[in-house]
Structure formats: C-alpha cells, structure tokens
A and B are shown apart, each in its own frame.
Chain A
Amino acid sequence: MRGAKVATSAPGGIGASVRRPDGPAKVRGEFSYAGDLTAEGMLIGVTLRSPHPHARILSVDTTAARAMDGVHAVLTVDDVPGDRHFGLVLRDEPVLADGVVRYAGEPVAVVAAVDAATARRAARAVEVVYEVLPALTDPQLALTAASVHPDGNVYRHVSYSCGDPDARGVVTVENTYRIGMQDPAFLAPEAGLARPTPDGGVAIEVATQWLHSDQKQIGWATGLPPEKVHVSLAGVGGAFGGREDVTLQTHACLLALATGRPVKIEYTREESFLAHRQRHPGTIWLRHSADADGRIVSVEGRVLLDGGAYASTSPVVITNTVTLLQGPYRVDNGRFEGWSVRTNNPSCGAMRGFGVPQAAFAHEAQLDALAAALDLDPVEIRLTNALQRGDVATFGQRFDAPTPVREVIEGLRAVPLPTGPAKAPGGVGRSAEGGTVRRGVGWAVSIKNLAFSEGHVDESTAEVSLRDGHATVHTACAEVGQGFVTVAEQVARTVLGATTVDVVQPDTLVASAGSTSASRQTMASGTAVHRACLAVRDRMLGRVARAHGLDAATLTVADGVVCAAGRPLGPVATAAPGQTFRATEHFQHPATHPLGSPEGGMYVAFGFSAQRAVVDVDVELGLVSVVQIASCQDVGTVVNPTQLLGQIEGGIVQGMGLALMEEVVVADGLITNPDLQDYLIPTIVDAPEIVSTYVTDPEPGMPHGWKGVGEPPLVTAVPVVAAAVRAATGLPLPAVPIKPEHIALGIGAAPTVTWTTPRPADPDRPRGPVVDEEPHDAPGTMAEEGAPPGP
C-alpha cells in the first residue's frame, strides 16, 4: 500500500488493521453459516418452482402432497394470510405464484416436512397444470410488446438533457456496448431458520443484507405487525447485493407459522441461481463528440437494461447507469435516456456497482476510442477531461466535496509496470506454449455514487454501552464480510477508549441500519456508532467530573485514558467502576432528491477510482492472463488498511470476472448454467497481482473523514481489463464478458468515427438538467407509500 495517510490512534482504533473477530473461525472452517442453523424439532422447507418462464397456472392440487407421511404443510398463494405481493421498490412480485408465473424458477408452492427428502418428494407430488404462454425474452421487444404484468413492461424510463446536446467538436465516436448478466455467486447459498414465537409472531435467523426490509416484507405477507416479526442475522457467506431482495425469508416464516414448528430452508446451488437477483444485462449506445485536444464537447447515450420478471431495484438501477454515463469527466452538453424493462428472464436487482459497471464499461471504451481517433494518449485524454471540485454533473449536482480524479490518475501513473515473469494465458491447460502471446496495457477511471440516492432515506441507528472499559455496540447493520464488525470496534476504541468491544449480532430490536449495499455502511452505521460513542463518552466524563469535582468540559479521552486538561487521570476501564453508560444515536445523511428536482442533488457522495491493467493475450486462441492490476482509489480516511485492501482486491477480481468469464447464460428464459462448473468465476490462478494505492482526502461531513470504498474497485476493473485486451489485440471488443472467440475470430463491431464541423453549444440552452418526463409519473419511482429504498 502506498500513499495512505493512516491516522495514528489508540491500539486497535481507527487506522489500525484490526482483525475480524470471526476470522479464525472462518479460516478453520468452524464459522457457523446460515446453512449450519439447526433447532430442536426443526422441519425442512422446500420450494416448488416453475419450470416455465411464462405460463398460466390452470390448477394447483396439493392433496397428494399434503397426505404424505411426514409432511406438515403445503402452502400456495391461497395460504398467504396478508398481502400477496412484495418487492423492494414496487410491490409487484407475488409471494407465491398467483395464477401466472413470469420467470423460470418462480416459487409456486412451499412445503415443510420432517426431512429434506420427504419435503422434496412432497414438492414433486404437488400437481400444477400450466398453460405455457409465449415468453417475452427480448428486452427491446418488451418496450412495445403486450404487458406480461398488470403494472406494465417499463420499470422506469429516464430521459434528460443538459446544455446543448447537438454541440460538436471535430470528431464523434459512437458504438453500442453490451454487458452480460453477472451473478453475485456468493459461496454460501441462501439459508434461514424461522420459528413461531409465543406471542403469535415469528422470528427468523437469516443470511441477509437488510434486516428491516426483510421484517417489513415478512410483515406484509404474514399480516403481522413489525413488533411481532423478529429478524436476526445468521452467518453470511458472501452477498454482493444478491441478498438484498427477499427470497426464502417470507416462505420460511409462513411455514413456521402454519406448522407451529421451526422451519429451515436452505437452497441448493441451482436454486440460488434461480432465486436471487443478478446484475442487469444491458445494451448501451454512446456517442461522444470532442475537440482536437480531446476535450469532450457533448455526450449522447441510450441505455436498455433487462430487469427480468419483477421490479426489485430496476427502477433505481437505471438512473445510476444513465446519469453516470458521463463517467468521471466534465460534460456540459448531453442527452441521456434509458429504460429498465420487464421480461420473462430472471429478475435482476442489486449487485455491487448497482448499474455503474455497465456505464463504466461503455464510457471508458469511448474514451479510448476518442483517444485513438485523435491520436492522443489514453491517460492524457482522461486528465484533460477529469472532473474537478466545483464542476456540475450532467444531472445538475455540483461536486462540492474533494473530487480527486486527476489525483487518482496521477497516483496510478507512479506505480511501476510489472517486470517479473507472468502466468501464461490458458494457465494449467498449457495451450500457449509455441504460440504468440501479446501484452497489452489499459487504463480506466470511474465514478461511483456512494449511499442511497434520489430521496431514499439513508440512515442508521446505534446503541452503545460502556462498563469498566468494555463496550457493547448494537446496530442492525448486516455484516456480510465487508468488515463493519471491525469498524464498529475501532470507533469504540478510538472515541470511547474501550479496552474490549463486543459487536452484537444484528437484529431488529434496534432501529434500521438500511441495507449493507451502496458502499454505505461505514458512512451510515459507522457514523451512528460514532455519535452514540460520543454520547456515552460524555455521560461517562460527566460522572467522572462529578466524582472528582472537575469541570466536565476539561475532560477528554485519549488512548483509553481519561485526561483532565490534557493530563492523565486514569484508564477509562477504572474511571467509573461498576457503572454502565448507555446511549442510542441516529444518523441520517442530508436529503437527496429525484433526478431533475430543483431542490438539490441526487446523490450523497461519490468515489473515484483509476486502474491500470496489464494482460497477456494468446491472440490466436483468445485466451487472457491478467498479469497485474494497479489501482489508485479515492478512499477518504483509511479506517482499516487490511479490510480496505480486501475490498480492493475482491472488487477487482469480481470485476475482472465480469470482463472475462462471468455470465449467466439465459436461453428462451432458462438459465443454462446455474452451477459453478458452468458459471465460471476467477480462481486464484486467474487473479492478477494487485497493487493498491490511495488518495486519502477526508470526506467532508463524515466523522474521521471516511467514505465508502466497496464498489469502485469492481466498477473500474470491468473497463480496465477490456481496455488492456483491446490494447493487446487491436480489436474493438464492445461486449463483456469477452469470450475467447471474440478475440480469436475477431467478433464485435468497431466504433464509428465521424469527422465533424465544429458547432459550439447554443448559449441559450439551459445548463440543465432538463428532464423530459416527470420522474414521479414513471412507474417505479418511489411510487409505493412507505416502500423501502434501493441502494
């Protein structure tokens, strides 16, 4: 790690590489994941799913299944006591299929039985008669085809312009880019255990990203008030957005309530692929115009994202993609439009990057195409156009926090190129020997919005207590591997001077922390913990002041010691023996506003990242070895250097996976590769050397100056790998994942370059943004009263 200014602080405080409390158990295989949950008298729940992407259900007969020995419940939509529909943004998805199935894998019935084999047999014994309907699988056709859902086929249409979109420099480059459907591919399939509670309610332990969203949606279906639905976090084995939507939560609770017994559901790998949300596949058309120096004059873009059968966060993802088509560059003139649409393909939703990797892949390919057309250096063209603090985005928001785009590019430039021998493309297959391997170097820079957007409330609450130097921190922030467990501990050590810290397993006994997504939890829950620690510290110091007859205003805590006017008084651990101090504090970011709103910005904050990839390509066979990815990222204050590096490395490898191999292949609405033999993710042999450097400008308004870091590394890795492969091969490669045959057979159209007569922007055109359609008229824009936000 280079260039990181790490704050010095109390041992184990902010800036230290504090180890995860669950680390040793995970390494030894002793960690209890949700799939390990068990309870006395537990039943096993199994889901019967539709084999068809689109069909009418003519009848469901559960008689035979119910009559089987060992079967305790068989539920269909008619057994849902509350609201039959749920969803993160729109309530358009049936808890169990209601007359129609709209994707292959849609739950039709759920069974609880004494063991898995019996439950599976019973599920097979449920007789469903389908009338197969034509499946709408082409998102382009979805715009005009008959609706496959009463709410229509368009989740959201976004369209706006800024300045004069018809302004021209000397050249335009345009192309159409395609991004495949990526799966979060977390290693521990969905699992949870629900039990009826004595008060007539239900409790569920589940691997999730958002406890209160689950609680609310379980409440809708069961008809129970929130205080009777208790959600607690079970051990999570990866999430990446794929656990943000409800999958088995409601089913397990309905079965537990119906049977009066604990019910566990654990998906198979195949079910996991069928049930959770994937990253939106999409097509993006972009046209950039630039002057001879490479300065961007105007950008026009059009996006079509396939949202699949149900809304999930499709209405939110599309705005991310469309508004960030400009990339981390200053764009004064532009026209942007996008749709997220409903089809009978698998439903797509949140996945690390949330619509932005798609945009980044396209805008970075365009920057390279512009550089090539104008014979400019790819780094220089990025520096020429780099956003700066004070610039205004195409969507009208002023970048009023540090905007270190130039700094991340310059920081990256300082990293030397790799010199050592590299792993050959083709790896263990040894196919490259005797062939020709060409090296390529590519650059990419990205912008990622951090935290929730467009008016979705971004908040968290923390309860902290302190007694004899031991702190307890309680939030509903789901730990999914990102490291909030150490952040909370580090804050309690630094602020409170705690010697030991217990981070309580998250549950719904404390107020919502929002989702663990959108790179937001250090900013939201970390800040709530910080505030609660300050309140506890002040209470403790007040007590100490009274006991010693001192003025509380002169007391501070430093390195675990209470000081009076800077002089040590004694350790925090013995400052008030036997006394417990407690506080609950809430944090909420300043409000954001929908696109086009005159009131203010859409986004809370932004993170910037630059990467350089070095690849070796066996051009004849189309095989790639990623030799090195160097990264320089805008990370605010470094809270935990090891955890930070983990986010950078993991994000880069996941982004590289999308660039080179990861794709859920859907044919006629059916996933053809729902397993990890055919859905390939990078192995450690594929992972490159990663060099990570940072720009550490503190984020204004955040305690300690921290900011979100989890998504940008993935966002940048997708375009940077593609850029390096293009550099090695000279091919346009407008689609990811790049398949060997795209390289070997030269598949994919090159950008169209057109030389133009310069046409300055019409000064009378409003700076913008001018929204062509009222956002609240569009389906899916927070239309639902009280609907929870997307990330």
Chain B
Amino acid sequence: MLLEAPRFALPETLGEALAARAERPEAVVVAGGTEVMPDLLWRNRTAAGFLSLRRVAALRGTATDGGELVIGAGTPVAALTTAPDGGLRAAASSLGTPLVRTEATIGGNVVSALPYRNLLPTLLASGATLELTSATGTRVVPFDGFVTAPGVTGLREGELLTAVRLPVHVGFADYAKVGRRNAQFVATVSAAVVSRDGVARLAFGNAGPTPLRSDAVDTAATALLDGRATPADLRATVAAAVDPPEDTVASAEYRRHALGVLAVRLVTRAAVDAGLGS
C-alpha cells in the first residue's frame, strides 16, 4: 500500500542518488526506513515519492582518514555497536532492538534530528563533522549547530548526508540513557561524555529542543574530573544549562535532575578510566 506511491527511485551509486535527489526534491529520502515508515503509518508525514539509499554501497562502511573515523551515512547502527569510539558503541548498542539496529542507519538518526535520538549526544560531545554532498560538491560542517529545531537541520535542497566524521582519540568516551523500561525505549534523557587530556566535554539528549552542550558545563565537568569541584557543582551547572521538555513521560524537573545525575556519573567514569577517580 505504501509502496504504491507514485515514484520510487532505487539508485545504486552515489552519483545516481545525487542526480535523483536533484531531480526529485519532493521525494522522501529513505535509508533504513525505521523513522520514515512509522511516520507514514502514523500519518505524521506524507510522501510524494521515495528515494531509497539502500542499494548505494558507497554510503556504507567505516574507514579512517588521517585522525578521523569516517562513517558512511548508510552504515547500519548494528555495525556501530563494535565501533572503536566508546560513546558511539554505547549509544548504538542501546538503540531500539536487534532488528531495528540492522536496518537503522547513522544517517537516518542524524537527519531525524529529534533531540532524544541516541547518536546525537555522542556526535556532539566528540566534535563530529558531517559531509553533506550535492550534485555540485561536498561541504563539511560541524554537527554542533546542524540541528536547528526538532526535526529540522541545515541540510540544503539537493543535499544528502554522505558521511559522519569523528576525531579518533585516545581518550575516554561514553554514553548513557534513561527511560521507562530496561530495553527498547526512547530516551527520557541521555548524555554523552568525551574526555581527553584532562578536559571533559559533555552533551545531552532531550535536554532541550536540540542536542545540547555548554561551555559552562564542560568547565564544571573538567573541574570535577580533576577534583577541583564537587558532583553537586556539576549538577547545579547542568540544571542551569538545560531546558528539558515537560510531557506525560516525565516532568521537566525529573529530566533536569536526571541529566545532572548522568553528567556526574559519566564524568566519574571518565575519571576512573583515567585513573583519577576512586
């Protein structure tokens, strides 16, 4: 029924995909389809046609390029559960179910741009960049700032997300997520940490309308990491920095509280990893 949509493009190369993107700006890009299909079923979205990336082999796979880990946008989340980056690994491992992880892609997660999606805080914490490609060329933009509102990104007409680049680092990276059951849940809130050379960087999911980080939080986190501040200091800084939603799943008060708790726990893990903590 859904596939009876008028136009359905199934390119096999990136060139064909970009050409199709340019020709059919109204077509919905589908990678794993694990966002798009439920949206269609629940009528949150209509489609005047589809552009499927499933057969574009060039979009799948991970490589290292200089100091960066380059992850093709079509790489399935399942492949990231063994990624060298601890944060990405944790975020990928707790996304959906094994079935969903097999289909879901990193590109779909990023472009969905919803504040509670798993991979976004890890990308923000690690300072990831995105390769955005159109028929006329590729630009590389920081992930920080790419999501401008829930579900809205800086992707331009004719562009596809082709790769996500993460600095390969020797430090510590981790991710944790809180929900209402112990598997297959949407994050009530989430947080990611990267610590390198004694500096901690935190990012949060569902702490505001877009993935969120702040210099004040990172300063407090770094201070906690090297013992110059207390957990209470970090919690207070986080509470002031975040602006979480209030809904039937949880109150804003709980979210603010839980974000502070996660921040402290992640920084504590980083400290333990670095041999600094207890």
Nearest A residue to B260 by beta-carbon distance?
A: A620
What are 26 contact pairs spanning A and B, CB under 8 A? A423-B182, A426-B176, A427-B183, A429-B182, A429-B187, A429-B190, A430-B94, A430-B177, A431-B262, A431-B265, A433-B176, A435-B265, A622-B254, A623-B178, A660-B180, A660-B181, A667-B248, A677-B38, A678-B186, A680-B180, A682-B181, A685-B181, A740-B178, A740-B258, A741-B250, A745-B253
Q: Tell me the B254-269 residues at the A interface (CB within 8 Å).
A: 254, 257-258, 261-262, 264-266, 268-269
Q: Which residues of A contact B82 (CB under 8 A)?
A: none
> B177: which A residues are within 8 A, CB to CB?
428-431
CB of B179 within 8 A of chain A?
yes
Cβ contact of B183, chosen from A667, A685, A739, cutoff 8 A: A685
Task: Identify which of residues 704-754 in chain A touch chain B, using a CB-to-CB cut-off of 8 Å.
Answer: 739-741, 744-745
Which B residues fall within an 8 A CB radius of A? 1, 38, 42, 90, 93-94, 175-188, 190, 248-251, 253-254, 257-258, 261-262, 264-266, 268-269, 272
In the A-B complex, list the 10 residue pairs whose CB atoms are closest, starting with the nearest. A427-B182, A685-B183, A741-B254, A429-B177, A434-B265, A428-B94, A665-B248, A431-B176, A434-B268, A683-B183
Q: Judge whether B248 and A673 touch: CB under 8 Å.
A: yes
* CB neighbours of B183 from chain A (8 A): 427-428, 683-686
Contacting residues, chain B, for A415 (C-beta < 8 A): none
A625 to B, closest residue via Cβ: B182
Partner of A621, one of B93, B185, B186, B258: B258
Residues of B within 8 A of A147 (CB): none
Closest partner residue, chain A, to B262 (CB atom): A431
Q: Given the complex of chains A and B, what is the CA–CA distance between A622 and B258 in angstroms?
A: 9
Min CB distance B88 to A, Å, is 13
Please name all residues of chain A whose beta carbon is closer than 8 Å to the beta carbon of B181 when the two chains form the complex: 427, 660-661, 680, 682-683, 685-686
User: Does A117 make an interface contact (CB < 8 A)?
Assistant: yes
Contacts of A425 in B (CB 8 A): 182
Residues of chain B within 8 A of A660, CB atoms compared: 180-181
Q: Which of A429, A625, A680, A686 is within 8 Å of B178, CB to CB?
A: A429
Nearest CB in chain A: distance from B249 CB, A: 8
Report B59 CB to chain A, min CB distance, Å.
27
CB distance from B197 to the nearest CB of A (A): 22
Least Cβ distance of B81 to chain A in Å?
A: 11
Q: Is A675 an interface residue (CB 8 A)?
A: yes
> Contacting A433 at CB < 8 Å: which of B185, B188, B265?
B265
Chain A binding surface SS class: loop
Q: Is the CB of B269 within 8 A of A433?
A: yes
Looking across the interface, which residue of chain B has its beta carbon closest to that of A674?
B42
The yes or no answer to A756 lying at the interface (CB within 8 A) is no
Question: Which B residue sits closest to A115, measured CB to CB?
Answer: B1
In the complex, which residues of chain A have a beta carbon less than 8 angstroms from the beta carbon of B254?
622, 740-741, 744-745
Q: Is A761 an interface residue (CB 8 A)?
A: no
A116 interfacial by beta-carbon distance below 8 Å: yes
C-alpha gap A433/B193 in the complex (Å):
14
B176 touches A683 (CB 8 A): no
Q: A428-B183, A429-B94 known; A744 and B258 CB under 8 Å?
A: yes
Contact check, B253 vs A741: say whether CB atoms are below 8 A apart: yes
Name B176's contact: one of A429, A740, A741 (CB within 8 Å).
Answer: A429
What are the residues of chain A within 8 A of B94 when measuring CB–CB?
A: 428-430
For chain B, what secondary structure do more than half of its interface residues adopt (helix, strand, loop), or is it mixed?
mixed
Q: Are B185 and A429 in contact (CB under 8 A)?
A: yes
Task: With CB as the reference atom, state the residue of chain A lying closest to B254.
Answer: A741
B180 cross-chain contacts in A, Cβ below 8 A:
660-661, 680, 739-740
Residues of chain B within 8 A of A434, CB atoms compared: 264-266, 268-269, 272
Determine whether the beta carbon of B182 is less than 8 Å from that of A683: yes
Find chain B residues with CB under 8 A from A117 CB: 1
Min CB distance B267 to A, Å, is 9
Which residue on A lies nearest to B186, using beta carbons? A677
CA distance A82 to B179 in the complex (A): 50
A672 at interface by CB-CB < 8 Å: yes
Chain B nearest CB: distance from A290 CB in Å? 36
- Chain A residues contacting B272 (CB-CB under 8 Å) are 434
Quote the shortest CB–CB distance from B244 to chain A (angstroms): 12
Q: Which residue of A lies closest to B90 (CB)?
A: A430
Q: Which residues of A contact B176 (CB under 8 A)?
A: 426, 429-431, 433
User: Which B residue's beta carbon lies closest to that of A673?
Assistant: B248
What 1/0 flags go to A91-135 for Cβ under 8 Å of B?
000000000000000000000000011000000000000000000
CB distance from A114 to the nearest CB of B (A): 13
- Report if A741-B251 is in contact (Cβ < 8 Å); known contacts: A434-B268, A683-B183, A685-B183: yes
The minimal Cβ–Cβ distance linking B117 to chain A, given in whole angstroms, is: 13
Nearest A residue to B266, CB-CB: A434
Q: Which residues of B contact A672 (CB under 8 A)?
A: 248
Known: A685-B182, A739-B180. 9 other contacts (CB 8 A): A426-B178, A428-B93, A429-B190, A431-B177, A623-B182, A673-B248, A685-B183, A740-B250, A744-B257
Partner of A740, one of B1, B90, B188: B188
| Shortest Cβ distance from B255 into A: residue | A741
Complex CA distance for A426 and B183, rounded to whole angstroms: 8
CA distance A685 to B265 in the complex (A): 23
B257 closest partner in A (C-beta): A744
Which residues does chain A contribute within 8 Å of B179, judged by CB atoms?
426, 429
Chain B residues positioned under 8 Å from A741 (CB to CB)? 250-251, 253-254, 257
Within 8 Å CB of B264, what residues of A? 434
A428 touching B182, Cβ below 8 Å = yes
Task: Tell which of B42, B175, B185, B261 touches A435, judged by Cβ atoms closer than 8 Å.
Answer: B261
CB distance from B168 to the nearest CB of A (A): 22
The distance from the CB of B175 to the nearest CB of chain A, in whole angstroms, is 8
Among residues 677 to 697 in chain A, which have CB atoms less than 8 Å away from a CB atom of chain B?
677-678, 680, 682-686
Report Cα–Cα, A117/B250, bound state, in Å.
Answer: 37
Q: In angstroms, how far is the closest chain A Cβ from the Cβ of B276? A: 13
Please measure, in the bound complex, the distance between the C-alpha atom of A665 and the C-alpha atom of B38, giving whole angstroms. Answer: 21
Closest to B182 in A: A427
Complex alpha-carbon distance, A680 and B183, angstroms: 10
Please give me the residue from chain A that is nearest to B188 by CB atom.
A740
Instruction: Give A677 to B34 CA distance when docked, in angstroms.
Output: 13
Q: How far is the CA of A270 from the CA of B44 in the complex (A)?
A: 13
A737 to B, closest residue via Cβ: B180
- CB proximity of B230 to chain A, nearest CB, Å: 15
Q: How far is the CA of A660 from the CA of B179 in the complex (A)?
A: 12
> Chain A nearest CB: distance from B207 CB in Å?
15
> Once bound together, how far apart are the Cα atoms of A672 and B248, in whole Å?
8
8 A Cβ contacts from A174-192 to B: none
How many Å from the CB of B127 to the closest CB on chain A?
22
A425, B261: Cα distance in complex, Å: 14
User: Which residue in chain B gives the minimum CB-CB distance to A430?
Assistant: B176
| Measured CA separation A246–B276 after assembly (Å) | 65
CA distance A431 to B188 in the complex (A): 12
B183's closest neighbor in chain A, by CB?
Answer: A685
- Complex Cα distance, B6 from A283, in Å, reads 53
Chain B nearest CB from A83 CB (Å) reads 35
| Central interface residue in B180, B188, B268, by most chain A CB within 10 Å | B180
Q: Which chain B residue shows the least CB distance to A427? A: B182
The distance in angstroms between the C-alpha atoms of A661 and B179, with both chains bound, is 10
Residues of B within 8 A of A116 (CB): 1
Output the nearest chain B residue to A675 by Cβ-Cβ distance.
Answer: B42
What's the nearest-Cβ distance from chain A to residue B98, in Å?
Answer: 11
Q: What is the bound-complex CA distance between A491 and B1, given in angstroms?
A: 47
A672, B249: Cα distance in complex, Å: 10
When the two chains form their complex, are residues B248 and A686 in contact, meaning their CB atoms are under 8 A apart? Answer: no
Whole-angstrom distance between the alpha carbons of A117 and B261 in the complex? 48
Establish whether residues B184 and A683, one from each chain, have CB atoms under 8 Å apart when the complex forms: yes
Cα distance A623–B248 when bound, in Å? 17
Q: Which residues of B contact A667 (CB under 8 A)?
A: 248
Which residues on B sit within 8 Å (CB–CB) of A739?
180, 250
Which residues of A (322-357) have their CB < 8 Å from a CB of B? Answer: none
How distant is A730 from chain B, measured CB to nearest CB, in Å? 18
Distance (whole angstroms) from the CB of B272 to the closest CB of chain A: 8
Cα distance A434–B271 in the bound complex, in angstroms: 11
Contact across chains for A621 and B178 when beta carbons are under 8 A apart: yes
Look across to chain B and name the residue whose beta carbon is closest to the beta carbon of A429.
B177
